[in-house]
Structure 1
Amino acid sequence: MLRFPGHGRPEPDDIVIGPLDLPRHIDEALAVQAVAFGLGPDEVAVRRQIVLRHMTFPGARAFGATVGGRLAGFVYGMPNDRSHWWSTVVEPYLRARGHDDWLDDSFVITELHVHPRHQKHGIGRALITTITDGADQHRSLLSALDIESPARHLYRSLGYEDLARRVHFPSAPTPYAVMGAPLPLPRA
């Protein structure tokens, strides 16, 4: 467990990063994602099934950030498998840029969300570095909305670079960027 800013006994506003039993805390996590990403109830219902399925994949794991005992953010990911849906969608975009080899020996950050009330406190950085520190793979992949945003700034500060842009996922109206970084991720 990682505790900050205090290092002694927990204070009500301490941020605690640790393993998260995501299937058990799915509704709490999706509530954070809904607020952070602006999802409606129908989208949350679809994502609930996707997350529960993902957590059955080999090597899938999750970490959460709690503040005052409440979930303030979470991350989950898994070793990449070229047969997974995400890989089949992004592979042509990566291949066109000469980066399809990134689909091998990579740990994919599937979701990373921090409640807006708790953003800009280092939670996203702590979550992504914690989950990737435990990866056996030599690099990490993720997809993010292809817009300049605080999330993209965070990823770049951690060494992620654009591997493909204007990636279109079925049913997503906004294009995404696929980003990759060697592991371990640098520290600030």
Structure 2
Amino acid sequence: MITPFGKKDEDLHSIVALYCKTFIGDTYTSQDFESAANNINKHTSYGGFKGLKAKDENGTLLGFTYGYTSLPGQFYREKLAAQLTDLQQINWLNDCFEFVELAVETKVRRMGVGRKLHDRLLSKINYDTSVLTTSVENNPAINLYISKGWEVIKENAAVISMDDVQVIMGKRIYR
């Protein structure tokens, strides 16, 4: 079952734990958890926030996704803009939804949970474009997004640092 989530959600602890496990690894610390929780909570207050969670019939969290309106002045938006040409910024960031996170429990990966979360989230937005970043080494994610109509805007983008280069991808939203 896929349902919305937001600030102070009953499953927020599970969402943060899945985030940490997915993006940091099983050895994440309590400090990692607290930082992720603060970040996700901050994002839930951004304009245009949309969050979805997938749970099984027993109420166990299987995955989540979220994003929000991309606006000048936001930390990540400015980092993205710095990696793009002026024309790319106009084409991709003017009326844009930042597809921020998509995480799925390891035991149910490649079973359609991520695809369903992706599709449902994008069906609930009203923007011209959406952008995302993922690690250049995350081939499963890159392949998923390409299969869903995303295109590579820039490869090897040092969005945050040269130590963790990203692929910036974009998708035109046809309303």
Tell me how far apart the structure 2 counterparts of residues 129 and 170 of structure 1 sit (CA, whole Å).
Answer: 27
TM-score (norm 1): 0.82
1:99-114 residue pairs with structure 2 within 5 A?
99-101=88-90, 102-114=92-104
1:33-48 residue pairs with structure 2 within 5 A?
33-39=19-25, 40-41=28-29, 42-48=31-37
Structure 1 residue ranges without an equivalent (≥5): 1-15
25-34 vs 121-130, greater mean Cα deviation = 25-34
What is the aligned partner in structure 2 of residue 65 from structure 1? 54
| C-alpha spacing 1:167/1:30, structure 2 compared with 1 (3 Å) | same
Amino acid at match of 2:6: D
Q: Are 1:143 and 2:129 an aligned pair?
A: no
Kept in 2, the 8 Å contact 1:22–1:62? The answer is no
1:87-126 residue pairs with structure 2 within 5 A?
87-95=77-85, 98-101=87-90, 102-126=92-116
Superposition deviation, residue 148 in structure 1: 4.7
Superposition deviation, residue 74 in structure 1: 0.2
What is the aligned partner in structure 1 of residue 43 from structure 2? 54
Tell me how far apart the structure 2 counterparts of residues 172 and 55 of structure 1 sit (CA, whole Å).
Answer: 28
Q: Which has the higher helix share?
A: 2
1:23-38 residue pairs with structure 2 within 5 A?
23-24=8-9, 25-38=11-24
| C-alpha spacing 1:146/1:30, structure 2 compared with 1 (3 Å) | same
What is the aligned partner in structure 1 of residue 166 from structure 2? 176
Residues paired across the two proteins, number: 169
What is the aligned partner in structure 2 of residue 6 from structure 1? none
Tell me how far apart the structure 1 counterparts of residues 46 and 61 of structure 2 sit (CA, whole Å).
Answer: 23
Output the aligned Cα RMSD. Answer: 1.9
Instruction: Kindly provide the CA deviation profile for residues 66-109 of structure 1, in whole angstroms up to 9, marking residues without a partner as x.
Output: 0131111000101111211111101121117x411211111111
Amino acid at match of 1:99: Q
Superposition deviation, residue 38 in structure 1: 3.1
Paired residue secondary structure (1:109) = strand
Tell me how far apart the structure 1 counterparts of residues 67 and 162 of structure 2 sit (CA, whole Å).
Answer: 20
Q: Percent sequence identity over matched residues? A: 22
Kept in 2, the 8 Å contact 1:144–1:176? The answer is yes
- Which consecutive aligned stretches of 4+ in structure 1 deviate over 6 angstroms post-superposition? none
Structure 2 residue ranges without an equivalent (≥5): none
TM-score (norm 2): 0.88
Paired residue secondary structure (1:99) = helix
Q: Are 1:17 and 2:37 an aligned pair?
A: no
77-86 vs 160-169, greater mean Cα deviation = 160-169
